[in-house]
Amino acid sequence: MMQDRLAFGLLFISVFGLGQINFEVSVSKKQLGLNERLRVDFAIDKPGDNFRPPSFSSFRVISGPMQSVSNVFVNGKRTYSMTYTYFITPLKKGVFDIEQASIEYEGNVYKTTPVTINVTEAVAIPRDPNDPKYIVDEKLHLAAEVSKRSPYVNEPITIVYKLYFAQNVNPTDVDVVDMPKYNDFWSYNVDIPNRNIDTSIYKGERYNFVEWRKVVLYPQRAGKLEIKPLSLDVTVNVPTGKRDFFQRVIYTQVPKLISAGNLTINVKPLPTEGQPDDFGGAVGNFNIDVSTSKKQLKANESLQAKVKISGRGNLRLFGMPNLQTPSAIEQYEPETSENIRSNLSGMSGSITQSYTLIPQVQGKYPIPSVEFSFFNPKKKTYETIKSSEQLVDVTEGPLANRAVNLTTPSGTVSIDSPFKFISLDTSFVLINTPTFFRSTLFYLLWGSPLGLVLLYVVYARRKLKQMGDTEGVRMRTANRMARKYLSEAKRNLNNSEEFYVALERALHNYLKAKLKMETSDFSKEKIKNILTQIGVEVSLVNDFVSVLENCEFARYTPSSVKAMEQDFANTAKMITQIDKQL
């Protein structure tokens, strides 16, 4: 009897053991420094599906998942293992959990247990000259070279990010982890068409380097301005010191996260002493030129006057000076054109404002010189430049008020005559009394009935065509109804039932207008299929169906005002995006 029980127990354990599935997580270490990497393996002894990793919320994934499968038969016994491998690095110090991962096998979901990781201060790396990790740490660097650390406001500075690597290592893959943040700077990037490898001396040694990024910055305020670093994830081929059968060097790949470090730029304010009243923020070195398209013309003819600022500096960041003209010349709003080159040394070129001028009366009219002030950072002083005066000669047209010169004992006095337009020489001219017959008004009244008849014929034809277009009428009607019910839904935000009824009607009418669907065709599955077939993004289709479901649920459960406002905003935005895609 005892033997039977023992045999039954062994049989139960064997059967239970054969059906057991192991899905486990293992880590290379449970305590690591802030500058170290951690290997995480998720292994299952059955061919599972739909693997879902944890979020790694307190870590950055360096690489992974890398999947490997082991299927070994030894003495007729099969050993199977499928592993998902990640390499991660911590984002900050503290105690963090690697959350559960899940996988499916034969309809069941299996999960790992969380693992606690203790992240400490950065640790010292062992100095082993033959260790590939040590070689990469010592021979791979990212540097940010700044042209000037203490510029004036709006004075350009350049930053060139260079990736330095020793001649015995070779970067094979580079991914950007964090982009620099240029808060309080106006910036633009300089294109690098080809990243050629060059050599230079870095930290006393000769390195290969690649220019990875170039940027020009114009600080917009004074003070100590911080620039967040550029961070790259670099995979490097490093020699192992071993050779293969053909005596070729064997390399190993080592990943490394490198950063250029934070930068601090001490920006000086522009001096207030000696600052001109018309200073508009220009910093650099500039010239000014004013030109006119005509020197001589008739009254009521137009000419172009151009104010051109050229040179090197913050050309896009200051205001242009105004052109002043005599009151007898009508002046229109200027048009601005740019011819600016942006390179590593900053902006250079010109900005031109073109004015349209129309003189009204005869005379010689001077266009005064235009003044322009700027701060020259090389000389550390303000400069004011002037254009030459232009003269416009108006040869024909109405006469301007003439001056009457009176000679008095004290000298000659010029008095403007307000009666210069009164003719002092009389002449008699025969006045022809106009008649109504054959006048402009006569022909206008005679032809207007015919014109009205033609307009009516055109209107009637268009109306008949629209009435015959039943499909177009139906679509326009549905569009109007959709807008009507959207407005009705907005008015009923304080009434959940009325709101969702109006919102559902709006969606139905929208589908009628866009998809030529009838009310009897409305089913969520059919709507989803049709929207997907005509090219609407899956996310928008899901949003559309989700709002329809909310309208249905609202019949049985009350909704908050916040939820209704969210559904209304989502519906309006969703309809706009679907319209764009259609």
Domains of the chain: 17-120 (2.60.40.10), 132-267 (2.60.40), 290-310+317-340+347-371+381-394 (2.60.40), 471-581 (1.20.120.330)
Predicted confidence (pLDDT) at residue 351 exceeds the cutoff of 90: yes
Mean pLDDT of 56-65: 82
* 151-187 tens-digit pLDDT: 999 999 999 999 999 888 888 888 887 788 888 999 9
Q: What is the pLDDT of residue 582?
A: 66
CA distance 60 to 431: 97
Mean pLDDT of 256-285: 90
Round the average pLDDT of the chain to a whole number and report it: 80
- With bands split at pLDDT 50, 70 and 90, how would you rate the model's confidence at 413? very low
Q: What is the pLDDT of residue 328?
A: 87
- With bands split at pLDDT 50, 70 and 90, how would you rate the model's confidence at 270? very high
Q: Are 209 and 200 in contact (CB under 8 A)?
A: yes
HSE, side-chain direction, 13 A CA sphere, residue 326: 19
* 310-347 tens-digit pLDDT: 999 999 889 899 999 998 899 999 999 999 998 888 99
- Residue 213 exposed, middle or buried by CB count within 10 Å (0-12, 13-18, 19+): buried
Q: Residue 365 forms beta bridges with which residues?
A: 392
Between 128 and 361, name the one with better pLDDT: 361
Q: Are 282 and 380 in contact (CB under 8 A)?
A: no
Predicted confidence (pLDDT) at residue 402 exceeds the cutoff of 80: no
CA distance 85 to 554: 46
DSSP 8-state code for residue 388 = P
Q: Are 308 and 354 in contact (CB under 8 A)?
A: no
Coil, strand or helix: which one is 2?
Answer: helix
> How crowded is residue 383: how many other Cβ atoms within 10 Å of its Cβ?
14
- Min mean pLDDT across 137-141, 200-204, 225-229, 553-557 is at 553-557
* 457-499 tens-digit pLDDT: 887 777 666 555 555 554 555 556 566 667 777 777 777 777 7
CA distance 505 to 497: 13
Q: What is the pLDDT of residue 398?
A: 81
